[in-house]
Amino acid sequence: MTLCALAAGTDASPGAAGAPARAHRPPNFLVILTDDQAQNSFRRRYMPQTFRKIVRPGTEFTDAIAAPPLCCPDRAGILTGQYPHNHGVFSNHPGYGDLRDPGNTLPVWLHKAGYRTGFVGKFLNGYNDLAGASPAPGFDRWFQFIKYPGYYGYAVSDDGRIVRYGHRRRAYSTDVLTRRARQFLDRSSGSRRPFFLWLAYNAPHGVRSTFPPCSSPASALPPDRATYRSVSHVPLPRPPSFNEKDVSDKPQAIQALPRLDSDAIGRIRHIWRCGLGAVSSLDDGVDRVVAKLRHERQLRRTIVLYLSDNGFFFGEHRRPAGKGSVYEPVLNVPFAARVPGAYRHGRLASRVHSVVSNQDVAPTLLDYATRFGDPVEPCAGPGDCRRLDGRTLAPLLGGRGNWPRRRGVLAEIDMPGDNYHAIRSQRYVYSELSTGERELYDLSVDPFELRNVAGSPSYAQVQGRLGVRVSELSRCSGIEDRDPPTAAPFCE
């Protein structure tokens, strides 16, 4: 089976009637991934260049879901197009060591199809414990943090050679990653081969640092004091869920959290501002990378995706920091796509409210590569193929095909403190915790998740229906009308 029709109802082949599939060379792909960036910092006023160069000429997905909202399982979903129960990674520990068939991933598939592939930044947790400084399968260019990423004082694998960076301003990791990405693009410009570059910034993830003013263990690190001062006046967002007064409807773990006092709120405010400083430098990096694409005359041939691996708590539901739980501040993440006119049939919608997820990245890239080139399969070799749980975003990005009207995506985590299966649809988020507790929120009337209606008679039918869907999604594999049926239900 080929991936010429990655979504139900898409064109059956690259040469289908009316499709300009062979009129252009296959597109380049640039995937920009940020770490722990919540929606509250993905704003035009904080990232003007990113909005000017990616979001405004592209599409912003308002209901993009980190499935699940945790670094390593989310990245494994990008790498494989699968949910954790199919790729094996349910938590950050051991992380990469749990990945099934690690030689059968997106960069391997694209490399086999003739793409020049590169990775720059933070990969999957635990990768170095197994592979040391060696590049991951499928990547031609490899520039990856060794062990724990940092903003200063860190080490990287530069194509297998360990290089250490110190504390001078030029060593600031966001800028270093930007320079390496630009070098990759520079070396790709003279080639007829299309490229795939995964640029995974560490920003705005918190680090342990002794550098003032951002020395909190949970705070990001701006490059210098001047950058911090530029955002030091920005007030901390306080949505209705901030320091939630009544949590009697929440699971016991949330009920046990004390209300935030003035000192705790001050610390959260400081973490927020340090993160904005890191985001400001991240925005400059995105600007420089896109400018390089334009300079090399590759921007019109490059599909750009921008997304975060999960969000972050800033006091919502009394959570002073962290991620992992099934609440919107960490579940609903920044996600935007810029598709040049040569690779679409119609105009791009500025905003799309359909539910999408990180599992959709791999199917999307394979679909575009196939539509405008030769078929690209999710296979490392004959008989060694993955069934992708995500679906191509092309129908939402000016392409042909259909998108399911009532789609829901699965979030599943198995780690101390967070163990659940959940579904996020456009209207509802429903979770079943390992403790036996249940949560159901109707986002159409309660977008800040202040009232858990699980067990409410008026939502009994909804809860029953979502419970069945969670059970099916927790065992699902593949997409109907794309994959042959198996004993497992499809991921619909």
The answer to whether residue 20 scores a pLDDT higher than 60 is no
CA-based angle 89:91:94, to the nearest 5? 80
Tell me the pTM: 0.95
pLDDT of residue 22: 41
* Closest listed residue to residue 340, CA positions, set 300, 306, 297: 300
CATH class of 21-407: alpha beta
- Name the band, by pLDDT with cuts 50, 70 and 90, for residue 6: very low
Quick one: tokens of 174?
């966001």
Q: What is the pLDDT of residues 404-456, one digit of tens each?
A: 989 999 999 998 888 999 999 999 999 999 999 999 999 999 999 999 999 99
| All structural domains of the chain with their residue ranges | 21-407
CB 35 within 8 A of CB 201: yes
- C-alpha–C-alpha distance, residues 85 and 70, integer Å: 15
CA-based angle 385:65:102, to the nearest 5? 25
pLDDT of residue 478: 98
Residue 192 or 1, more confident: 192
CA distances from 116 to 104, 138, 175, 194, 315 (A): 17, 9, 23, 6, 43
Stretch 35-51: mean pLDDT, rounded? 98
pLDDT of residue 24: 67
Three-state secondary structure of the chain: CCCCCCCCCCCCCCCCCCCCHHHCCCCEEEEEEECCCCHHHCCCCCCHHHHHHHHCCCEEEEEEECCCCCHHHHHHHHHHCCCHHHHCCCCCCCHHHHCCCCCCCHHHHHHHCCCEEEEEECCCCCHHHHHCCCCCCCCCEEEEECCCCCCCCEEEEECCEEEEECCCHHHCHHHHHHHHHHHHHHHHCCCCCCEEEEEECCCCCCCCCCCCCCCCCCCCCCCCHHHHHHHCCCCCCCCCCECCCCCCCCCHHHHCCCCCCHHHHHHHHHHHHHHHHHHHHHHHHHHHHHHHHHHCCCHHHEEEEEEECCCCCCCECCCCCCCCCCCHHHHECCEEEECCHHHCCCCCCCEEEEEEEHHHHHHHHHHHHHHCCCCCCCEEECCEECCCCCCCCHHHCCCCCCCCCCCEEEEEEEECCEEEEEEEECCEEEEEECCCCEEEEECCCCCCCCCCCCCCHHHHHHHHHHHHHHHHHCCCCCCCCCCCCCCCCCCC
- C-alpha–C-alpha distance, residues 163 and 145, integer Å: 10
The answer to whether residue 10 scores a pLDDT higher than 60 is no
Buried b (16+ CB within 10 A) or exposed e, 327-356: bbbbbbbbbbbbbbeebbeeebeeebebbb
Bridge partners of 242?
316
| Burial environment of residue 235 by CB neighbours within 10 A (0 to 12, 13 to 18, 19 or more) | exposed
Q: What is the pLDDT of residues 323-338, one digit of tens each?
A: 999 999 999 999 999 9
Q: What is the pLDDT of residues 53-63, one digit of tens each?
A: 999 999 999 99
